[in-house]
Amino acid sequence: MSDQAIRILEKQREDLVVRVLRKHEEMEASRSFTERILAGISELFLLLDHEFRVIQTNREFVRRTGLAAGDHRRLALEDLVDADRAGEIRAAFARGEFTEFEAQLRTAEGDTMPVKMRGSTHVNPNGLVLHMLICSDCSEFFALMQQMQEGQKQLIHSSRLASLGEMAAGVGHELTQPLNAILLFARNCLKALDAPGDHTEMLRENLQIIIDRVNKAASIIGTMRSFGRKVEEEQAPVDLNEIIRKILSFLESQLRLSEISLDLQLAEQPCVVLGVEVRLEQVFLNLVQNAIQAMGRVVVPRLTITSRVVDGLNPKTMRHEPYVQVSVADNGEGIPEELQKKIFDPFFTTREVGTGTGLGLSIVDRIVRGFAGHIELTSQPGRGARFAVYIPQYRPEPGGVEGAGRDA
């Protein structure tokens, strides 16, 4: 090989080395630039290969998960989130329709962190497929939501206790009657035991009356405890007709003391909805109590309660579906038209200052909406008010699967 050929080859080698070094410097600069960008991201960054194995993360990911910079290279997606969620993420990437996912991201300590994931897929010029995930920590958001839910539960529970306080006088009278009867018939039994002759039949009758009155008092106390207890939020089928009967039995003495005539028109068929029994008790207890108070100045007060199944338009599905309608109407003074739009607002009340919190109807409205229902008010001054509660009827699907009313 001639000297000239050797010099040409040497020159080409030197040029190649220079180009390789420049390319390496460019790659290093690009990597450094990328790392600086990733280091400045406050969210957790993940880069995965086509097999969904982690090949790169940012400092925030390492800091929040506790996974060391070298550890993540051995991790698959299923090591970071549960298998079901990992399958959904893989499927979303495969469709090219990655939407936002909520997931529980595992940490090195074995704990989980609630995150929202956003992703995209990139294919480089060499055909290498890379999946990018950006995770936003939602711990503070979920903690705040939990505090708000606990606050709402406490508010509803406090409202129930306030309702119990308003019923105290009527309940006291209701308990006094069976207790006085027990005392009276117990004394009769003692006298009969001391008196000559056979009083077996009379003793049996008196003891049966005492048992009946004890059961009545126990029922009243049990109902009070039911209204006062904190409840679980799991929904189940509830017959609103039974709720109404239970409340009217509980308020029997209050209605009698107020000399209120009752017009009860309950549907013959069960009016079953999907809800929480104690919450629904609170709804109708509040509505009936409000009706009683609204008739305080009426000469001949009359309370009308009806239930039926009606056809209604579900605002979510835009389909006509059966609703259970329960209405509570009074013939009191009514509610002025300008106040009707405010009647469900928190802290709004038509009572005198110091006699109400203004939370009752607001909470009632919130409970009903929580069961996919709504409340309608119709009223004219001097002609009373009518509150109609609409909740989707519960209809079990064939095979015993809970169905209609759940997504209404």
- CATH number for 259: 3.30.565.10
Q: Can you tell me the mean pLDDT for 180-192?
A: 75
Lowest mean pLDDT among 5-9, 20-24, 96-100: 20-24
271 & 369 share domain: yes
Give the single-character DSSP code of 296. Answer: T
Q: What is the pLDDT of residue 68?
A: 61
175 & 108 share domain: no
Give the single-character DSSP code of 297. Answer: T
Confidence class for position 406, pLDDT limits 50, 70, 90: very low
Q: What is the pLDDT of residue 357?
A: 40
CA atoms 259, 361, 167, 233: torsion sign? positive
247 & 372 share domain: yes
Q: What is the pLDDT of residue 398?
A: 62
Confidence class for position 307, pLDDT limits 50, 70, 90: very high
Q: pLDDT digits over 130-174, tens only? A: 888 888 888 777 777 677 666 656 655 555 555 555 555 445 555
Q: What is the pLDDT of residue 374?
A: 92
- Residue listed under structure tokens 């060391």: 68
The reply to whether 7 falls in a domain is no
Confidence class for position 407, pLDDT limits 50, 70, 90: very low
The reply to whether 4 falls in a domain is no
The reply to whether 260 falls in a domain is yes
Q: DSSP string spanning 129-195?
A: EEEEEEEEE-HHHHHHHHHHHHHHHHHHHHHHHHHHHHTHHHHHHHHHHHHHHHHHHHHHHHHHHHS
The reply to whether 290 falls in a domain is yes
211 & 244 share domain: no
Return the number of other C-beta atoms located less than 10 Å from residue 286's C-beta: 24
Q: Can you tell me the mean pLDDT for 54-64?
A: 81
Q: Which of 230, 257, 275 is the last residue of a domain?
A: 230
Confidence class for position 328, pLDDT limits 50, 70, 90: very high
| Start-to-end CA span in the chain (Å) | 89
Of 220, 281, 277, 229, whose CA–CA distance to 253 is shortest? 220
Q: Is the model's pLDDT at 222 over the cut of 70?
A: no
Confidence class for position 401, pLDDT limits 50, 70, 90: very low
259 & 407 share domain: yes
The reply to whether 380 falls in a domain is yes
Structure-token pair, residue 236: 């189940």
126 & 166 share domain: no
126 & 154 share domain: no
Structurally, the chain folds into a number of domains equal to: 3
Domain limits at 226?
141-230
Give the single-character DSSP code of 393. Answer: B
189 & 265 share domain: no
Q: Is the model's pLDDT at 386 over the cut of 90?
A: yes
Q: pLDDT digits over 290-306, tens only? A: 898 889 888 899 999 99
Q: What is the pLDDT of residue 245?
A: 92
Residue with more model confidence, 3 or 370: 370
Residue with more model confidence, 148 or 52: 52
Q: Is the model's pLDDT at 379 over the cut of 70?
A: yes
The reply to whether 9 falls in a domain is no
Q: What is the pLDDT of residue 153?
A: 61
Of 53, 52, 71, whose CA–CA distance to 61 is shortest? 71
Q: pLDDT digits over 271-285, tens only? A: 999 998 888 888 898
Residue with more model confidence, 68 or 268: 268
- Using a cut of 0.75, tell me whether the model's pTM lies above it: no
Q: pLDDT digits over 340-357, tens only? A: 887 777 655 655 544 444
333 & 378 share domain: yes
Cα-based distances in Å from 114 to 60, 132, 283, 324: 15, 18, 35, 38
Q: Which of 214, 230, 246 is the last residue of a domain?
A: 230
Mapped onto helix, strand or coil, the DSSP state of residue 313 is strand
H-type helices in 301-384, by residue range?
Answer: 337-340, 360-370
Q: Can you tell me the mean pLDDT for 106-112?
A: 84
Of 358, 402, 363, 361, whose CA–CA distance to 379 is shortest? 361
Phi, psi of 347 (to 5 degrees): 70, 5
315 & 356 share domain: yes
Q: Which of 205, 230, 255 is the last residue of a domain?
A: 230
The reply to whether 155 falls in a domain is yes
179 & 262 share domain: no
Distance CA 182, CA 189 (A): 11
Do 43 and 135 form a contact (C-beta atoms < 8 A)?
Answer: yes
Lowest mean pLDDT among 108-122, 156-170, 256-270: 156-170
